[in-house]
Amino acid sequence: MNLIELNRALHELRMGGMVATLETRLLQAQADAMAPIDLISTLVSDELACRSQRLLARRHKQAQFRDANKQLDNFDFQFNPKMNRSLVFDLATAGWVGRREDALFLGPPGSGKSHCAQAIGHAVIQQNYRVLYREAHALLEELADATLDGKRKEHMELLTTVPLLVIDDLEHISYYCRAENGSLNQALASSAVSSGSIWAMA
């Protein structure tokens, strides 16, 4: 099997990580006189790293954060000195998600709640958890639409099986519950709390 055939076979096996580094690793093996087992180990490591990166990228996309660039490394703690920095970083370790605990951030508009919540959501993804981000009004509109379409059960399953559901702008929920149907909020709360973690901002 020549290099072209090997590349084709790796593509068929969906080993894109190996395909991307194969020629470089073969040159490295020749230059360093690598043992076959070391070459194989290096290629397998490349494939695993590639798959891990693709998984994280897919989960970040699926989370549907409002602002993808909201990360902990660009959060300005000086802007809101009352923010508990140690608690924020503790939440970012995702231990509470593993324990299926919930979190509620309270504060006035512009205090950094949304930035912090999305940043922690990104960090939780890095800990190999799935995350969904929704603004409260959009969440209830989705539930209302799903109910009308007869797909409420499927949509609720999506929301309640994710390890972390981030709900932003929770203060708007009371208005939308009156406008749509308060039972939507009750169903979400009763189901999601027992299935995963909820991170809410109000």
Q: What is the pLDDT of residues 69-83, one digit of tens each?
A: 888 888 888 887 888
Q: What does the pLDDT read at residue 184? A: 46
Measured from the Cβ of residue 127, the count of other Cβ atoms closer than 10 Å reads 15
Round to whole Å and give the CA distance between 176 and 141.
8
Does the pLDDT of residue 190 top 70, yes or no? Answer: no
The SS3 assignment for 153 reads: helix
Tell me the average pLDDT across 26-48: 95
A 10 A CB-CB count for 7 gives: 16
For the chain, list the domains and their CATH numbers: 3-58 (no CATH), 72-201 (3.40.50.300)
On the question of pLDDT at 191 being above 50, the answer is no
Contact 143, 184 (CB under 8 A): yes
Instruction: Give residue-wise pLDDT tens across range 39-76.
Output: 999 999 999 999 999 999 999 999 999 888 888 888 88
Q: For residue 195, what are the contacts with CB-CB under 8 A and spacing of at least 6?
A: 100, 160, 161
Q: Name 194's Cβ contacts closer than 8 Å, sequence gap at least 6.
A: 100
* Residues 74-95, mean pLDDT to the nearest whole number: 87
List of residues 6+ apart from 158 with CB closer than 8 A: 132
* Cα angle, residue 73 at apex, residues 49 and 125 outer, rounded to 5°: 45
Tracing tokens 């299926």 back to the chain, one arrives at 100
List the Cα angle 162/165/166 in 5-degree steps. 155
- Name the residue with higher pLDDT: 156 or 132: 132
Closest CA to 69 of 121, 11, 17: 121
Q: Where are the alpha helices (DSSP H) in the chain?
A: 3-12, 16-32, 36-63, 85-92, 95-98, 113-126, 136-148, 152-161, 173-179, 182-195
Mean per-residue pLDDT for 85-114?
88
Reply yes or no on whether the pLDDT at 165 is more than 80. yes
Angle between helix 113-126 and 36-63 (nearest 10): 150
| Residue in the structure block whose two tokens are 């909820």 | 198
Would the pTM of this model clear 0.85, i.e. be above it? no
